[in-house]
Chains A and B, each alone.
Chain A
Amino acid sequence: MSKTKFLSPGALPQWLSELAAKATVYAPRREGRAVVYRPHIEGEAPELALRPTESAKHVLFPRAEALFSFTKQGEAEKSGRRLEVQEPAEPGPAVIFGALSCDARGFLSFDPVYEGSGTDGEARDPYYLKRREKTALVVRACKRPLSTCFCHWVSGGPASGQGADVLATEIEGGFFLQAFTERGDALLDAPSLAEATAEQRAEADKAHCAADKAMGEIPDLGPAQESLLDLFDSAEFWRDRSAHCLSCGACTYLCPTCYCFNITDESSGLAGVRLRSWDNCMSPQFTLEASGHNPRPGKSARLRNRVGHKFSYYPKIHGGRFSCCGCGRCIKSCPSSVDIRKIVLDAIKEVGHV
């Protein structure tokens, strides 16, 4: 679980081909102004200069997936009709190539939830877990942060190998590759890769140190959990923080750690599917009750939930881990520039924990 290799840029297409021979490879591709993860096409160079606009979570947690399909059969009389149910095809092996450290850490927030944490494993989610088991992550280390990056606030780092199977670090003349798991070792067992030297490892270590150093100071987020609870009923605090929020789903759907979904039966005639699709707590329907009552009637209550969930309620039941990997996509791509960092720091300050 500690194999190291060296990838020269010229060998990248070959390595991708080798990986693609055994698994579906998802790699960043530039489309219009965005960088999105797409199934790799032979001969295409992945976009590694710009950071992906979206996270890679849809590879494990599709935007819409049929949990099963059904067909009603027989006569429409009382007892004669049967429901034929078909399970979806098993997911195949996959590799997410060129994800960021924060993307890999994002799945660590998904895992306990979908493993049924707190339910003695009763509520395990086989759809997610099957994909998780079969998907490897090749992560690239960042060199410089964007002004919206804050992975280091939430126990991550620009070159963190947490959650990665392989970490790729750009060094002179290519990439130093380091495996962290057996799955990673297997990915590095490829003819296109050369053995890495001790000098190359030292150079990668140096790059990691430089990247860590480029990150700013780390504020103490320890009091966040309590502060956000204390402010739960402060209408004014949340009104001011959410005044410019559009209550759209951009933050949630770009977020590597947001895992909520909706379920609908979509049928046409006698056949249909039970569909699981992404949902988000910024949407009014997220909490709309059958009676018509909505316990989160406006955007301030919805934004309060989003921030509270990530920095208070989730950590409370998951050993203190924030449900945030600090990728900053919610800030960078927010049409209204809502800054979750500022909200958390404001909450701590407001309650007087500083």
Chain B
Amino acid sequence: MSMQDELKSAVRAALADCDCVIGWGPGPEVLRRSPLFARQEADADLFRADFQAVNNPALFLPEYKGRKVGVVVKGCDARSVGQLVNEGLIRREEVHVIGFPCDGVIDVGKVAARLEGLCEPGEVTSLREEAGAVVLTHPGGELKLEKNDVRADKCGRCRFPNALDADLFIGAPMEPSTGEDPYDDLKALESRPYEERMAFWEREMSRCIRCYACRNACPLCVCRDQCVAVSRDPHWLTQSDGVRDKLFFQIIHASHLAGRCTGCGECERACPVGIPVLLLKRALSRRVEDLFAYRAGIDEGRPPLLTFSLDEPAIKERHW
């Protein structure tokens, strides 16, 4: 049985005691799948777990707290599930986790760059997978792209391509393609003087439309309807759309995610104008990992910034 068929069977079986099963189904464009919520057996046939299975389905789990739901996860999505459990935002026993080996997901922006001069991504009419590659059909012919060249940046540094904690794992587990995260993206930015970095953020944030897709796509953003960005009483943030006002929100968002962000990258992917907001979260994740030896969604227990320990081993100042 192929992995896709195994997946469909797993979804059908899970529906017996789950309210719904969340995964990926057909999307409005060839290159993009849509999150799919199966509630009846017939829906299972629409499920796919492949190169276009981009969205993080863990995002939806807190909405279903108190009911049992199934969820199909990539390795990175499973880390979000783990972190939601760690923080008590969902109950592990209420989630039926179906894992599969992930060899990376598409970055439509990278595909767009490769299609330049041929067409826009929305004009691609079909996609087929070949060993390690995808072949796209566009109005002018076919284009073969190596998956490694057009996969999301996060996939290039993924150490956990298989769900760390799954109730059912389909397919053969993948070997991780890399060891430690070198944080090359951050190092490149940090090698520049402060003025240039500020100019970089001001330039990037200048096209922010404040849709808050970054916030709403984040599985660990838990304030939901009570976000400071939109509260009116008290009116924490101005409605003025200056670049610094917009950056201010991103700093708040990143701070709230410090030590909680699993690096799924959905904030950045969701941004309709392509602002690299994941960088801010990665800067804080690296710091938390250095200081507290805690990796969100991998290490168990309460995130260090949600607790207080008199003897943080990595904080040396008290012994001076």
User: Which stretch, A28-36, A108-116, A186-194, A316-324, touches the partner chain B?
Assistant: A28-36
Contact with B along A239-259 (1 / 0, CB 8 A): 010011011111011100000
List, in ascending order, chain A residues with CB within 8 A of B240's CB.
64, 266, 273, 275, 277
Q: A244-B37, A246-B216, A339-B28 are in contact. Are A254 and B241 (CB under 8 A)?
A: no
**Which residues of B have CB within 8 Å of A337?**
27-29, 32-35, 55
Does B210 contact A249, Cβ atoms closer than 8 Å?
A: yes
Count of A-B contacts with CB under 8 A? Answer: 153
Partner of A248, one of B30, B39, B216: B216
**Which residues of A are found within 8 Å of B207, using beta-carbon distances?**
31-32, 34, 36
Contacts of B241 in A (CB 8 A): 63-64, 277
**Size of A's binding interface in residues, CB under 8 A:** 51
CB distance from A276 to the nearest CB of B (A): 9
Kindly supply a per-residue 1/0 record for chain B positions 257-273, scoring 1 wherever the CB is within 8 Å of any chain A CB and 0 otherwise. Answer: 00000000010011011
Across-interface contacts of A246 in B (CB, < 8 A): 59, 213, 216-217, 270
The answer, among A148, A266, A278, A288, for a CB contact under 8 Å with B210, is A278
Q: Please pick, from A249, A273, A338, the residue contacting B212 in the complex, using a CB distance under 8 A.
A: A249
When distances are taken between beta carbons in the complex, the residues of chain A under 8 Å from B178 are none
A134 at the interface (CB under 8 A from B): no
Q: Is A50 an interface residue (CB 8 A)?
A: yes
Chain A, residue nearest B112 (CB) = A33
Let me know if B248 is at the binding interface, CB within 8 A: no
Interface centre among B37, B231, B272 (most CB of A within 10 A): B272
Contacts of A51 in B (CB 8 A): 120
The chain A residue with its CB closest to the CB of B239 is A277
B272 neighbours in A (Cβ, 8 Å): 34, 53-54, 250, 254, 333, 335
Closest residue of chain A to B233, judged by CB? A290
Would you call A147 and B30 a contact (CB within 8 A)? yes
> Which residues of the partner chain A approach B232 to less than 8 Å between Cβ atoms?
264, 285, 288
Residue B139 lies at the interface, judged by CB distance under 8 Å to chain A: yes
CB distance A253 to B209 under 8 Å?
A: yes
- Contact between B210 and A63 (Cβ–Cβ < 8 Å)? yes
**Is the C-beta of A130 less than 8 angstroms from some C-beta in chain B?**
no
- B-side interface mostly: loop
Cα distance, A34 to B275, chains bound together (Å): 9
Complex formed: what's the CA distance from A63 to B217 in Å? 22
- The residues of B that contact A336 with a CB separation of less than 8 Å are 34-35, 55, 217
Annotate B88-111 by CB proximity to A: 1 below 8 A, 0 otherwise.
000000000000000000000100
B123: Cβ under 8 A from any A Cβ: yes
CA distance A138 to B26 in the complex (A): 37
Q: How far is the CB of A63 from chain B (nearest CB, A)?
A: 5
- Cβ distance B227 to chain A, nearest Cβ, rounded Å: 9
A244 touches B60 (CB 8 A): yes
Chain A residue at minimum C-beta to C-beta distance from B231: A285
**What 5 A-B pairs are tightest by C-beta distance, nearest first?**
A146-B122, A33-B274, A335-B270, A337-B34, A249-B211
A246-B59, A339-B28 given; name 9 further pairs at CB < 8 Å: A64-B239, A248-B217, A248-B270, A249-B213, A252-B211, A273-B240, A278-B210, A332-B28, A336-B217
